[in-house]
Amino acid sequence: MASLGRLSRAVVRAPLAQTRQHSAAAHGDSPPSRLWKILTFTVAFPGVAVCGLNTYLKMQHHHHEQPEFIAYSHLRIRSKRFPWGDGVKSFFHNSELNALPDGYEEHEE
């Protein structure tokens, strides 16, 4: 019975010792944490900024043409009306890109 008590205490203490060891290393200014801090500010943040700039510039020069409407029977099936608006358009409807069951909306240009 005494061995069971020693075993249970050893099992409980082992994870606590590991947790303390890892948490102490994570909060200090150890070399691995300093490396990740430097990489975050010199690689990650500028990388996100460059990707955002690239996306913005591509959207400035992007001219999208409306695809031809083909009335496939398996697309745009409406078994009941949507509970908003006129009941035909989806919640995130884009009149230039999303077709209705009977075709695209007419735009005056």
Choose among 92, 90, 72: nearest CA to 81: 90
* Predicted local distance difference test score (pLDDT) of residue 68: 86
Q: How far apart are CA 91 and CA 83, in angstroms?
A: 9
Residue pLDDT tens, the chain, 109 long: 667 666 666 655 655 555 555 555 555 567 888 999 999 999 999 999 999 999 999 988 887 777 888 888 888 888 898 899 888 888 998 888 888 888 888 765 5
Which sequence spans correspond to the domains of the chain?
Answer: 10-58
What's the pLDDT at 27?
58
Longest CA span, the chain: 89
Tell me the pTM: 0.41
CB atoms within 10 A of CB 70: 8
pLDDT for residue 50: 98
